[in-house]
Amino acid sequence: MLKLHNANVGSVVTVKDLTSTGLLRERMLALGLTKGAQVEVVRRGPSGDPTVFNIRGAMIALRNEEASMITIS
């Protein structure tokens, strides 16, 4: 099972599922991280965290802790 924090920079992946709950899940859904959404991995921070993603045209930075809750294909 691949997680978003493992995706390579430059790759485009598809969201399969969110394992987050509560307010974090609501935030992710509001950002467009819904099942079937295309996500491009733009770049990683200097220490590898956070990572910038292009989600439906918006640049969003997620920490590895958050990105690990998103299953991709």
Non-local (6+) Cβ contacts of 55 within 8 A are 31, 32, 33, 37, 39
Query: 49: domain CATH number?
Result: 2.30.30.90
pLDDT at 52 over 90: yes
State which residues form the domain around 44. 2-72
Residue 1's pLDDT band (cuts 50, 70, 90): confident
Q: Is pLDDT of 67 > 90? A: yes
Residue in the block written with tokens 């991995």: 41
pLDDT at 48: 85
How many domains does one find in the chain? Answer: 1
What pTM does this model have?
0.88
C-alpha closest to that of 51 among 22, 10, 19: 10
pLDDT tens figures, 6-44: 999 999 999 999 999 999 999 999 999 999 999 999 999
